[in-house]
Amino acid sequence: MQRHGYQAYLVGGCVRDLLADIEPKDFDVATDATPEQVKRAFRSCRLIGRRFRLAHIHFGRDYIEVATFRGSGNGDDRTELTKEGRLLADNVYGSIDEDAVRRDFTVNALYLDPQRGQILDYVSGYRDVRARTLRLIGDPEARYREDPVRLLRAVRFAAKLDFTIEPRCAELIATLGTLLKNIPPARLFEEALKLFLSGHARRSFDLLQEYGLFRALFADTAAVLDGESGAASLEMLRAGMANTDERIASGKPVTPAFMFATLLWPAMRRHQQQLEAQGHTVADAIHMAAEWAVFRQVARISIPRRFSTPMREIWQLQPRFENRHGKRVGRLMSHPRFRAAYDFLLLRVLEDESLEP
């Protein structure tokens, strides 16, 4: 980019992580070039996005994301807000200092020029990285309302980085959690993956509970956790999150299907028991309760069928572990979800001590 005559800097999480002695997983670039100019400069470039126009420069299977400096957008018809203050469209370009104040947290607004070895800091982000503090840029309430997903990002960064959320920014999280109802379920699905499948699921879960955001994402499960059997279910969920973190740390595969099976189990299980009390068989009760749980959850967090189907299979295999005689054992062990279902059974022991894995 610089050889083409543009300003260009590494920006955001990669700079923050380097300063915090964390190995970055990816690198983003900010530039004064427009997306169209970036595309003309690189044959391997692809433009994406409507709300934020971005350039992806591909190198084999990898790519570098390049974003044009954003401007304030004051009075510009290319910036659109909802009545709640949420930003719907934003393709206003500006200077690097304008771009810095448009970013969410100070620690994500640091720019690194690798040619000169120089860091540009317009919002005291370097100070906050050293103090291990998460602080929103500008008025915290306005910034949360502009994009309520920042509520979840605050939790995720605090969990990942082991940073403390600045008191005012933390105080507002619990009071503004209802704003998440305005976020599309598909976007919340992507945020859920980042929260629970990035190696810090246990800490993310605890912080979501602490700040009252878990209910905004998983209302039916939260209702069970508040009930008489909530303590046992809570122990199971926390163990499930810890196990996921251990698998990621050891390089083992993880899947959203198992994660959602764990997070939705308390709600599904309670509904299953209610159906059994009404006279339904165990198999029918599980089937109907699984349909109910998925139907209610996808209204809040969209779960693609490629994950919801194996999730249901993990649940539906649970009663079959109680019958371990004859050919049924062989059929059970040959099921493609057997390993996941057995691992899930081991988790359930924490909720129900009568089980014998």
The catalytic residues are 26, 28, 104
Question: What is the DSSP annotation of 332-348?
Answer: HHTSTTHHHHHHHHHHH
Q: Are strands 28-31 and 118-121 parallel, antiparallel or unpaired?
A: unpaired
Instruction: Report how far residue 173's alpha carbon sits from residue 321's, in angstroms, rounded to the nearest whole number.
Output: 42
Q: How far is Cα 133 from Cα 18, in angstroms, rounded to an integer? A: 16
Say which residues have a Cβ less than 8 Å from residue 355's Cβ, sequence separation at least 6: 345, 348, 349
| DSSP assignment letter at 163 | P
Contact present, 31 and 69 (Cβ < 8 Å): yes
**In the structure encoding, which two tokens stand for residue 92, read together?**
């206003």
Which one, of 62, 70, 66, lies nearest residue 54 by Cα?
A: 66
Give Cβ neighbours of residue 166 (< 8 Å, ≥ 6 apart). Answer: 133, 134, 135, 136, 140
